[in-house]
Amino acid sequence: MNKGFMVVFDGSNGAGKTTVIKGVEKYLISKGLDVLLTREPGGTPIGEKIREVILDPSTPEMSYITELMLFGAGRAQHIEEKIVPALAQGKIVISDRFDAATFSFQHYARGIELQTIVKINDLALNGFSPDMNIILDLEPAEGLKRVHSRGEGLDRLEDEKAEFLEKARNGYLVQAQQSPEKFTVIDASQSKENVLKSVIQVIDSLLASQLGK
């Protein structure tokens, strides 16, 4: 494989992204492939500092536009510093969230105009696009139960009202309907084993398409 590809795992909080990502990493390494794990917000030293600001639950006064621009700034740095170089080295990049989350949370849930989201995101992406978004779909209420069961505090976005989280979930589903070639939705209410099995099938299809080029 001369050129790598990028897979994004996204969806409701508590849907099991971390567990699935670890399983996919193990699977790809077993096939002798070089894998880079990353996340948004975050992924770089600058991005991690931005993450702290975005998710800090003590700043509920943050304006929606500030939030959007912080996500864009972190993404621009993420792509230039980490993602593009890794792909050029033939690595498979797996990211915990990426730009689909911005459309779901900032447009569908926050209500920021779509064109504004597109402008900021296009500036950050600079022509880049991940190869596949795998959406782990789960009822937000069930997701929050899982988050609470881990004994962790909620970040600023997780602590939003149920209506906000439901709108964000629907935002992912709308994006998947609009771009089926770039999105795969997987029912995350299944057992961990079945979810991972479904994800591996998607990964295998991506590997086959890349090797066929």
pLDDT at position 186, please? 97
pLDDT at position 104, please? 96
Amino acid at 89: Q
Q: Count structural domains, the chain.
A: 1
Task: Say if CB 132 and CB 207 are below 8 A apart.
Answer: no
pLDDT at position 152, please? 63
Q: How many CB atoms lie within 10 A of CB 194?
A: 13
Q: What is the CA radius of gyration of the chain?
A: 16
What is the distance between the terminal CA atoms of the chain, rounded to a whole angstrom? 9
pLDDT at position 144, please? 77
Burial class (CB in 10 A: 0-12, 13-18, 19+), 37: middle
Q: How many CB atoms lie within 10 A of CB 78?
A: 25
Question: Taking the model in full, what pTM does it have?
Answer: 0.92
pLDDT at position 149, please? 76
Task: Say if CB 65 and CB 112 are below 8 A apart.
Answer: yes
Q: How many CB atoms lie within 10 A of CB 140?
A: 22
In tens digits, what is the pLDDT along the chain, a chain of 213 residues?
467 999 999 998 889 999 999 999 999 999 999 999 999 999 999 999 999 999 998 888 999 999 999 999 999 999 999 999 999 999 999 999 999 999 999 999 999 999 999 999 999 999 999 999 999 999 988 887 877 677 666 666 766 678 888 999 999 999 999 999 999 999 999 999 999 999 999 999 999 887 665
pLDDT at position 119, please? 98
pLDDT digits (tens, 9 = 90+) for 120-175: 999 999 999 999 999 999 998 888 787 767 766 666 676 667 888 899 999 999 99
pLDDT at position 108, please? 97
pLDDT at position 86, please? 97
Q: CA separation (Å) from 185 to 36, 105, 118, 134, 172? A: 22, 17, 22, 6, 9
pLDDT at position 145, please? 82
pLDDT at position 212, please? 61
pLDDT at position 210, please? 78
pLDDT at position 153, please? 60
Residue partners of 167: CB distance under 8 A and separation at least 6: 108, 109
∠ CA 138-140-141, nearest 5°, is 115
- For residue 185, give its domain range: 5-211
Task: Say if CB 8 and CB 98 are below 8 A apart.
Answer: yes
Tokens standing for 37? 């794990």
CATH of the domain at 112: 3.40.50.300
